[in-house]
Amino acid sequence: MQGVALITGGASGIGAATAEAFISKGVRRLVLIDINQDSLDTFSQSLKAKDNGDKLDILAVQCDVTDEDAVKGVIDQAVQKFGRIDYAVNSAGITNKSKVGQYKTADWNRVINVNQNGVFYCMREELAQMEKQDFLPCQSKDTRRAQRGAIVNVCSINSFVAAKLNAAYVSSKHAIVGLTKTCAIDYASHGIRCNGIAPGYIETPITLSPQNIEVLRKSTQPERTPQGRPGIPEEIADVIVFLCSEGASFVNGAIWEVDGGFLTL
């Protein structure tokens, strides 16, 4: 796979696994964006350490996706370095639990700002670049499969169903389904595809944290998740990379459930 991949929340969990999955498919130019400078440094050093002289080129930039000017700055920096953005994966996300009637406004707003507005700020800059770049040379014989760019937003099973004490998260994840689908129809004629992925319960620092681990254990019993286990970040990352690839050239506006069967029950 050729091209430049950009990943928000790229230093941890699903975002980090996605970076590794792109590399395993041959992508050599990566832009990693995360709010956490330490994890960004540690992760990009670990990727470079595993690189066997494959000319891996990583731009790792600390950025809070709720800061629209900072988002514009980092995407400008990425384009200055690599000239284009072919795949954009918007994975940065947070949660904050409360009963609806007891949410502090600041806590509510922070979740909405990161999970909904942050995705919008990133998409706006990603699309502005994708729209003006040439099509990436097509690997397939059929040039109808060529693309200018592909975006994958990391949604959730909570884009479709509620979760107790999680109204801000559930609201934000429902909202980005609308954003993803509308983007898909607005940009189809530009050669840009936009899809979402809806992970079930995945073992990442969010779900393994002391306040969430019991929910992870209970929610991954066979009566909730038919496969009877949590997913691993790589199982989400592989599907994200496929959705970005030319192999998914006729998938647009879809939200793919990757949840061990959770939403089928």
Residues near ligand NAP, by CB under 6 A: 8-9, 11-15, 34-36, 39, 64-66, 91-94, 114, 118, 154, 156, 199, 201-202, 204-207
- 50 vs 56: CA distance, rounded Å: 10
Nearest distance from C-beta of residue 205 to ligand NAP, angstroms: 4
Which are the contacts of 102, defined by CB distance < 8 A and separation ≥ 6? none
Question: Strands 149-154, 29-34: parallel, antiparallel or unpaired by DSSP?
Answer: unpaired
Nearest distance from C-beta of residue 107 to ligand NAP, angstroms: 14
Can you state the angle between helices 13-24 and 233-244, rounded to 10 degrees? 50
Does residue 169 have an active-site annotation? yes
Q: How many CB atoms lie within 10 A of CB 112?
A: 17
- 114 vs 151: CA distance, rounded Å: 17
Does residue 141 have an active-site annotation? no
Can you state the angle between helices 167-187 and 105-112, rounded to 10 degrees? 30
Report the residue number, 3 or 9, with the smaller CB distance to ligand NAP.
9
Nearest distance from C-beta of residue 113 to ligand NAP, angstroms: 8
Tokens of 66: 């709720």
Nearest distance from C-beta of residue 115 to ligand NAP, angstroms: 6
- 16 vs 41: CA distance, rounded Å: 12
Report the residue number, 12 or 180, with the smaller CB distance to ligand NAP.
12
Report the residue number, 85 or 136, with the smaller CB distance to ligand NAP.
85
Report the residue number, 36 or 249, with the smaller CB distance to ligand NAP.
36
- 164 vs 154: CA distance, rounded Å: 20
Listing DSSP states for 94-108 in one string gives: ----B-GGG--HHHH
Q: How many CB atoms lie within 10 A of CB 219?
A: 18
Q: What angle do CA 41, 47, 51 make, to 5 degrees?
A: 140
Report the residue number, 36 or 133, with the smaller CB distance to ligand NAP.
36
Nearest distance from C-beta of residue 224 to ligand NAP, angstroms: 13
Catalytic residue among 169, 181, 187, 201: 169
- Annotated catalytic residues are 169, 173
